[in-house]
Homo-oligomer: A and B are copies of this chain.
Amino acid sequence: MDTEEFRKVGYRMIDYVANYFENLKERNVTPPLEPGFMRQRVPTTPNDDPEEWDEIFNDIEDVVMDGMTHWHHPNFHAYFPTGHSWSCVLADILSTSIGCIGFTWESAPSCTELEMSMVDWVGQMIGLPKEFLFLNKDNEKFKQHGGGIIQTSASECTLFTLLTAKRLKLNEGNINESDLVCYTSEQAHSSVQKAAMLANVLMRMVKTDENDSMRGSSLEQVIEEDVRNGLKPIYTCATLGTTASCSFDDLEEIGMVCKKYGIWLHVDAAFAGSALICPEYHSWMSRGFDLMTSFCFNPHKWMLINFDCSMLWVRDKDVLTKAFVVDPAYLKHDNQALAVDYRHWQIGLGRRFRSLKLWFTIRRLGVKQIQEWIRLTIDLGKQFEAMVKKDDRFELYNDAKLSLVCFRLKGSNEKNEILYKKVNNTRKIFISQSKIKDVYFLRFVTCSRLTKIEDIEFAWNVIQTCIE
């Protein structure tokens, strides 16, 4: 396809997606389909000969849109938000068209270096301790030891830091892999447990207090018992803003315990981390930051950046990047001593030019508008919470610290499970469910940039009409 054809079809696709957004409200949020529906819509074998763009465009509705769960529908309130900015769509056009692979500095210098700049921009926006940034005082070489990288998701950040902590411990020598143990809250995201399974490290799920928060004393108790039994603690993952109920581990207490036992402390703030860009949330969320070893949050959740864009910072980049170095001849280059080669900071080798999404979006919006987005979605959550409070049939599971509202009908889990199914089966809104300490509840969070107060009211009405 030559560039002339591309220009025409390119404009057409720009219009297509703009139309999609302008008309999103007319769709159901979720599709009333069963698994296997695609078999009727796509041939089982590929075509030998070319097809025209008209034919392909004509199939997009049937094959792609009709069976889609529309994450940016104004009535999508499930899971956690996933970011969306048109500036990211533009960045992806540029990134995909350049089509570079940034595994070493040499393979795509601006891909690596713009990412380093964005690591520092975002690190400052969320108010990380300066030690975590690349910031250098002069242009000759990097004097600081800290740094960061864009990964695909928090899962990879957790797994890579856990594997690094494990490698560091085993390097001490005379240690049996089966004696290693790591810790996290019983409320931690499933990806943390999965990381421990993938890493084959025993993981203790530490019980939480009445606020679903992992506390220092509980963690210490479990660690002491493990140490008494000859186990070797290597890693703790603390969560700021759990998926189930947006609860917060006590990072200061956890940090003191980890410091005492010389344990790597990783902080997973996948969703809540974006709120750190607002001083009123940074003031309490950042307590304990001086004690953490690594920090991760996902701009692709709540910071208006389209997936994928998860960010990981470390206090000491050498510790992270020297753990699993394989340096074949064809990847060597003259600047290895001075440059950052991001291949050493992640599981895989290849990586896209994702920092363009951050550069475009932060420049176009400015930090203040991103702060306003955080405040707006929290405010919409507060308004939904107020509606829940006004209705005697309902109760809150907890007080919403950020934009997630956890609520339920007073009474049995069963009636809430029924309500959940009925609400989502209307396909007019889409919410999530969860269960903590045997209490089942519903989750509601503002996700879409299209969501306004009228949509919050609409959602509440739908929920009410579903009560038996």
**Interface membership of A64, Cβ < 8 A:** yes
List residues of A (90-120) whose CB comes within 8 Å of B's CBs. 90, 92-94, 96-101, 105-111, 113-114, 116-117, 120
Known: A34-B335, A92-B92, A94-B64. A18 touches B10 (CB 8 A): yes
CB distance from A155 to the nearest CB of B (A): 4
Of A37, A71, A349, A356, most buried by chain B (CB within 10 Å of CB) is A349
**Interface membership of A63, Cβ < 8 A:** yes
Checking B36, B68, B352 against A307 with a beta-carbon cut-off of 8 angstroms, the contacting residue is B352
CA distance A102 to B20 in the complex (A): 19
CB distance from A342 to the nearest CB of B (A): 13
B6 touches A135 (CB 8 A): no
A432 touches B350 (CB 8 A): no
B105 touches A96 (CB 8 A): no
A190 touches B326 (CB 8 A): yes
Known: A97-B89, A113-B38, A177-B178. A48 touches B366 (CB 8 A): yes
**Interface membership of A173, Cβ < 8 A:** no
B11 touches A105 (CB 8 A): no
CA distance A339 to B69 in the complex (A): 15
A153 touches B368 (CB 8 A): no
- With A1-B364, A6-B18 given, name 19 new contacts (CB 8 A): A1-B87, A10-B18, A10-B89, A13-B90, A17-B94, A35-B339, A38-B116, A42-B117, A47-B362, A48-B368, A69-B107, A69-B108, A92-B93, A99-B306, A177-B177, A194-B324, A197-B324, A244-B330, A308-B350
A349 touches B190 (CB 8 A): yes
**Interface membership of A3, Cβ < 8 A:** yes
**Interface membership of A387, Cβ < 8 A:** no
**Interface membership of A451, Cβ < 8 A:** no
Which residues from chain B contact A191 at a C-beta distance below 8 Å? 326, 348-349
Indicate the size class of the contact surface on chain A.
Answer: 35 or more
CB distance from A86 to the nearest CB of B (A): 4
Which residues from chain B contact A51 at a C-beta distance below 8 Å? 363-364, 366
Stretch at the interface among A77-85, A214-222, A280-288, A455-463: A77-85
Known: A14-B6, A69-B100, A72-B99. A89 touches B79 (CB 8 A): no
Number of copies: 2
Interface bits A3-22 vs B (CB < 8 Å: 1, else 0): 10111011101111110111
**Interface membership of A464, Cβ < 8 A:** no
Checking B55, B68, B111, B114 against A108 with a beta-carbon cut-off of 8 angstroms, the contacting residue is B68
**Interface membership of A279, Cβ < 8 A:** no
**Interface membership of A386, Cβ < 8 A:** no
CA distance A33 to B139 in the complex (A): 13
CA distance A300 to B348 in the complex (A): 14
A435 touches B329 (CB 8 A): yes
Which residues from chain B contact A42 at a C-beta distance below 8 Å? 114, 117, 359
Checking B92, B200, B307, B347 against A350 with a beta-carbon cut-off of 8 angstroms, the contacting residue is B307
CA distance A121 to B189 in the complex (A): 35
Nearest 5 interchain pairs by C-beta: A38-B113, A10-B14, A67-B110, A155-B348, A17-B97
A22 touches B3 (CB 8 A): yes
Which residues from chain B contact A356 at a C-beta distance below 8 Å? 64
**Interface membership of A166, Cβ < 8 A:** yes
CB distance from A48 to the nearest CB of B (A): 5
List residues of A (133-150) whose CB comes within 8 Å of B's CBs. 135-136, 139-142
Known: A331-B190, A433-B330. A13 touches B94 (CB 8 A): yes
Known: A49-B368, A117-B42. A338 touches B108 (CB 8 A): no
User: Looking across the interface, which residue of chain B has its beta carbon closest to that of A86?
Assistant: B6
